Amino acid sequence: MTLAYVPGDSLAHRLDPRTKLLVQIGFAAAAYAHATPRGLAALTALAGGCLWAADGDIADLWAYRVAFPVLFLAPLVAGATLGSPWFRAARAAETALASYRVLLLLVVAAAYVRSTPVRDSRAALQRTVPGRAGTFLGAGVALVFRFLPLLRRDLLTAREAVRARGGDRLPVRERIRLVAVAGTNRAFGRADRLGTALAARCFAWNPTLPRLSFEPADYPALALGVGLLAVAAAAVI
Amino acid sequence: MSTRTESVDLVGDEAATNLARAALFAALVGAFAYVTFPNPVSPVSVTLQVLGVFLAGVYLGPAWGPAALLLYLAAGALGAPVFEGGSAGVGALLGESAGYLWSYPLAAGVVGAVVHRGTALRDPSAAGLGTLVAAMVLGTVVIYALGVAGLALVLSLGPVEAVAVGAVAFLPAEALKIAAAVGIVRSDAITAA
Amino acid sequence: MIALESLTCRYEGRNREEGDENGTDENGVDDVGTVAVDDVTLTVPDGEFLVVAGANGSGKTTLVRTFNGLVRPDTGTVSVNGTPVDEDLVAARAAIGMVFQEPRDQLVSATVGGDVAFGPENLGCSRAEIDRRVSAALDAVNMVGREDDRIAALSGGERERVAIAGALAMEPDHLVCDEPFAGLDDPARESVLARLRVLHREGTGVVVVTHDLRDVVGLADRVVGLADGRVVVDGSPGATLPDLAALGVRIPETCDTDAGGEAGRSTDP
């Protein structure tokens, strides 16, 4: 159901995570610089290609369903106007293009998420962001991935406990409070045990960096990323 | 062995625990995205991420609170399903929700700075009711100001249109979260802070 | 070798947090209270299998956490292999692998291999050396070739063994396990015990902290019993068992001074 890394051997799976991040940034820049029907048509083909290269399909976009109402509603709100002519098609079209552009960004992001394990993302962070910031981000992101399922279960347990004790009759504010207190206390307990364990294992600012290297397949993809950035820059200048 | 131990730059026990807490709070904000409650005054149901942002500011303070939310954004961008509806990816940080998401570290910093009156942490349950409410109202203002500005920018909407799309249906629930957050802090029920 | 000299730890000040943390443990098998460690002098030779036994709140967790500087004593000194812990914290932590309760909360990575590599990465080992250590550590806990397994999919006993492998990858002289059997079912407990037995036989010092001697008494060279932060019993398992029962420590039911190991394992914990 949720969008997540799926092990595989697609082209995107074999690319270096830094390459894939550069392509995403290039894509976003190009999409913001060229929100014209023609520009977006070209980018649609590219976004589809990215998702295809990651062995993904349109069903992966279901993960973004909460964004759809806003993306759909925005052009209608933009077009609506108080008084004659009540609806301005040109305004609505402009926002519709912008909404569609966001959808394309989500498609490309889905391709990255599908094809990139945490280990690679962490390695990309630690090899790109220098010094302590890189260690903080790399270790921190890995821990978020690791502990998210545990905390989700903690909250579910808390919620069921509240319900089992007749919590459904309480006001919403009180139910939220009970669930949040239980979740936060569990998170603190886990964090303090984790902190001690990190210290015992010599948690250092300067660990050996993870393995990561560009392969031949990365170079055309890197060129694509740079090309997209250049296309975006051309529109601005 | 001895040459190697000199080159190891230890994080330090206190910082290691702070980093662990920041990461766990980031995961908690993500886990809160999955918890929905019916909204008594609006058809849009309530998720608790913003409550997590408040609590990060209150319990981790104006430095580690924003750090936790930065980890949240980074992990989400790199594929952890922590954004609304369990979504993930760089797209969320560049799309229609960009303003809201980028406001979280700032809002946690604002809440933390008001509650702790500076960078040194103090017991949040000792902060007065007025301080807590003010901190969270300010945090909410930051989140919605940036969120609506992001919407206007990303979707080429006018200010009124952006407010209509991005704030009207959601704002009433924020009062609920502020009330819940104040209740949590004042009841002194969080043991590990 | 670990040497403690007139060690005293109080919960006030910087050590208070340890007490709080222990007190909130949901297993209720940890140390709480105001007295932590009271004037303890103790030497743990290399290769010794030592059991530190005591009831909840006896100070045993705080005591072992001074071995690698996680808890700093108020008075007294701790040295590891002749060097005071304060002078080289990294050396002390590399020489003493420590595994705590709730292994679920100590594993840092999504995969087994990534987790076991964490310690040697921090020590700055080369990638080739890290790979060697990871496979050796997994071998030592009977999990050869499981590098790519997902942590989330492991059983309780496997998690405990991965946590032990993570400590072993730093190639410590002593392995310290705090209540390693808490929450494990019988087969999982057996698997962890079997690995500790092999490690000890191959020369690693093992320190097990527990309130329940039934599992480990057959392996121990020596048992130290704590009460209110003081060492009140110290000797061979056979000689100490009768005194340990009075400290609130669970001992084998057939209180055989020969300490036949599995003798008392018939009852469920």
Domain ranges of chain C: 2-264
Question: With 0-12 CB in 10 A as exposed, 13-18 as middle and 19+ as buried, what is C268?
Answer: exposed
Residues A42 and A108 in one domain: yes
Residue C26 has pLDDT above 60, yes or no: no
- Reported residue count of chain B is 193
Residues A52 and A169 in one domain: no
pLDDT at A168: 83
Q: Residues A101-128: pLDDT tens digits?
A: 999 999 999 999 999 999 999 999 999 9
How large a percentage of chain C has pLDDT more than 90?
72
Q: Residues C171-185: pLDDT tens digits?
A: 999 999 999 998 889
Domain total of chain B: 1
Q: How far is residue C148 from each of residues A125, C109, C116, measured CA to CA in Å?
A: 21, 11, 11
Tokens describing residue A216: 């031949």
Q: Do B10 and C90 touch (CB under 8 A)?
A: yes
Is the residue at B193 inside a domain? no
Q: What distance in Å separates the CA atoms of residue B6 and residue A13, rounded to the nearest whole number?
A: 39
Q: Do B80 and A141 touch (CB under 8 A)?
A: yes
Chain B contact probe: residue of C90, C96, C123, C173 with most B CBs at under 10 A: C90
Full domain range(s) for residue B14: 2-186
- CATH for B175: 1.10.1760.20
Residue of A nearest to C152 (CA): A146
Q: Do C88 and B5 touch (CB under 8 A)?
A: yes
Rounded mean pLDDT of C80-96? Answer: 95
Residues A178 and A64 in one domain: no
Rounded mean pLDDT of C143-157? Answer: 93
- Which region among A232-236, C29-33, C54-58, C230-234 has the lowest average model confidence (pLDDT)? C29-33
Rounded mean pLDDT of B13-29? Answer: 97
Between CA C7 and CA C16, with CA C10 as vertex, the angle to 5 degrees is 135
Which residues, at least 6 apart from A6, have a Cβ–Cβ distance to it below 8 Å? A55, A114, A115
Q: Do C119 and A202 touch (CB under 8 A)?
A: yes
Residues A187 and A139 in one domain: yes
Instruction: Provide the 3-class DSSP secondary structure of residue B136.
Output: helix
Residue of C nearest to B80 (CA): C110
**β-pairing, C49-54 with C205-210?**
parallel
Tokens describing residue C68: 């690698």
Is the residue at A205 inside a domain? no
Architecture (CATH level 2) of domain C2-264 = 3-Layer(aba) Sandwich (3.40)
Chain-centroid distance, C-alpha C230: 18
Residue of A nearest to C68 (CA): A200
Q: Do C20 and B191 touch (CB under 8 A)?
A: yes
List of E strands, chain A: none
Q: What distance in Å separates the CA atoms of residue B105 and residue B73, rounded to the nearest whole number?
A: 9
Radius of gyration of chain C measured on its C-alpha atoms: 18
Chain-centroid distance, C-alpha A48: 17
Domain total of chain A: 2
Is the residue at B192 inside a domain? no
**Chain C residues whose C-beta sits inside 8 Å of any chain A C-beta:** 17, 21, 24-26, 65, 68, 70, 90, 93-94, 97-98, 100-102, 104-111, 114, 118-127, 130, 151-152, 166-167, 170
| Selected residue with higher pLDDT from C253 and A3 | A3
Which residues, at least 6 apart from B79, have a Cβ–Cβ distance to it below 8 Å? A3, A4, A5, A112, A113, A116, A118, A121, A145, B88, B89
Tokens 């297993």 belong to residue: C27
C46 min Cα distance to partner chain A (Å): 19
ipTM value of the model? Answer: 0.94
Query: Cβ contacts (< 8 Å) between B17 and chain A: which residues?
Result: 191-192, 195-196, 198-199
| Selected residue with higher pLDDT from C79 and B191 | C79
Q: What distance in Å separates the CA atoms of residue B101 and residue B96, rounded to the nearest whole number?
A: 10
Tokens describing residue B119: 């960078």
Tokens describing residue B129: 């009711």
Chain A contact probe: residue of C65, C72, C105, C134 with most A CBs at under 10 A: C105
- The overall longest dimension of chain C from CA atoms, in Å, is 51
Confidence of residue B44 (pLDDT cuts 50, 70, 90): low
- The overall longest dimension of chain A from CA atoms, in Å, is 71
Query: Cβ contacts (< 8 Å) between A119 and chain C: which residues?
Result: 109-111, 114
Do B37 and A172 contact (CB within 8 A), yes or no? yes
Residue B165 has pLDDT above 90, yes or no: no
pLDDT at C10: 86
Q: What distance in Å separates the CA atoms of residue A73 and residue A36, rounded to the nearest whole number?
A: 20
Q: Torsion angle of alpha carbons A209, A215, A221, A223, nearest 10°?
A: 90
Residues A20 and A111 in one domain: yes
Is the residue at A107 inside a domain? yes
Q: How far is residue C37 from each of residues B60, C14, C15, measured CA to CA in Å?
A: 30, 14, 11
C255 min Cα distance to partner chain B (Å): 41
pLDDT at A132: 95
Residues A226 and A175 in one domain: no
Confidence of residue B188 (pLDDT cuts 50, 70, 90): confident
Is the residue at B19 inside a domain? yes
Residues A109 and A134 in one domain: no
A residues 51..110 contacting C (CB < 8 A): none
Is the residue at A56 inside a domain? yes
Q: Quick check: A145 contacting C, CB < 8 Å? A: yes
Full domain range(s) for residue A177: 130-200
Q: What distance in Å separates the CA atoms of residue B56 and residue A107, rounded to the nearest whole number?
A: 31
Which residues, at least 6 apart from A1, have a Cβ–Cβ distance to it below 8 Å? A62, A63, B86
Residue of A nearest to B173 (CA): A173
